[in-house]
Structure 1
C-alpha cells in the first residue's frame, strides 16, 4: 500500500481545502482496491473529455448514469446470478460481473453530452461549457497622457 503526503503541494494555496480532500480521498480509494471497474479519462480537445469504463458483461439495462450538481455516478446492477440456471456449476469464474458504483467529481461547467456502450466499454462524453459571463474579458487601456492621439468617446479612427 502506497501513501502520499500532499501537504507540500498545498502550503501556498488558499481556499483549496475541498480540492485537497478530493485528491486525498481519490488516492485512498485506489489504494484500498476499490478500482472496479477500471476506467480511463481522455482529453479529446480543449473542452471535450471522455470517460471510458470497462463494463464487460453488463447490458444497457443494467447500467445507470446519474448526474447531480457536480457529480457523475455510474451504477452497474448485475442480474447475471439471478438469471443463471441453478444447475450451473463454474469450474473457474474469472469474469467480474459484480454490482458497482463509481463516482466522478466534475469540475464547474462540465456537462455530460452522451453515453454509448460498445464492445464492453462504456463511453461517457463530457464537454466544458463556460458561460460568457464567466469568461475573461480584455479591457482596453486608454492613454490619457497623450491627448492628441486619444479620440473622444463614441468616435472611431478611419
Structure 2
C-alpha cells in the first residue's frame, strides 16, 4: 500500500483543515493511536482548543512541547497503580500524541481540570502577511501620470 505525506496540506490550511485531517487519518489507518481520546474545537475565528481525556494523570505526569508546526503531548505515569482488579478499563499507560499545527498557530497555554487536559491555541498572522488595501492614486493635472514602462514602449514604437 502506498503512503502519502499530507503534511503540506496542514501547513497551507487555516487553523485545522478537517478534510486534510480525514485524508491523513485514512492514510494512517493502521498507525493511528487511539489513546488518549481527544477533541479539537474552534472557539473563535482564530482560537482553537485541544482537549485530551487523561483519567488518572496529573500535571506532573505530562509534558507538552511545541516545535515548529508540531505539538507533542507525552504522558508517563510515575508509578503503576497496584491492586487486585476484577476489571481494568482505565488505561494508565504511557503515551505520546502529536498534532500538526498550521502556520502561525501558537500554543497559548494549557490547563488540567477533572481529568481533561485543555490546550489553548491561537492563530496569529504577522502584520506583513495580513491583507491590506492599496489606494489607487489618480492625478489628472500631471502629464507624467503613466508608468515609465508604458512611456518607453510608446517611444520605441
Q: Could you state the TM-score of these two structures normalised by the residue count of structure 1?
A: 0.71
Residues 51, 124 of structure 1: 8 Å contact kept: yes
Distance 2:86 2:7 in 1: 49
Q: 1:38 corresponds to which residue?
A: 37
- Aligned match of 1:96 in 83, 91, 95? 91
Gaps of 5+ in 2: 11-19, 146-157
Residues 53, 115 of structure 2: 8 Å contact kept: yes
- Aligned match of 1:19 in 9, 27, 31? 9
The Cα of 1:30 is off from its aligned counterpart by: 4.9
Q: 2:71 corresponds to which residue?
A: 72
- Aligned match of 2:127 in 119, 126, 132? 132
Distance 2:113 2:64 in 1: 15
The Cα of 1:46 is off from its aligned counterpart by: 1.2
Distance 1:31 1:132 in 2: 41
The Cα of 1:18 is off from its aligned counterpart by: 2.6
What's the RMSD between the two structures over aligned residues? 2.7
Higher RCO, Cα 8 Å, sep 6+: 2
The Cα of 1:27 is off from its aligned counterpart by: 2.7
- Aligned match of 2:103 in 102, 108, 116? 108
Question: Per-residue CA shift, 1:9-37, capped at 9, x if unaligned?
Answer: xxxxxxx87328x7444334455551211
The 1:30–1:123 alpha-carbon spacing in structure 2 relative to 1, beyond 3 Å, is: farther
Q: Could you state the TM-score of these two structures normalised by the residue count of structure 2?
A: 0.71
Gaps of 5+ in 1: 1-6, 8-15, 153-158
The Cα of 1:52 is off from its aligned counterpart by: 0.5
Distance 1:62 1:17 in 2: 29
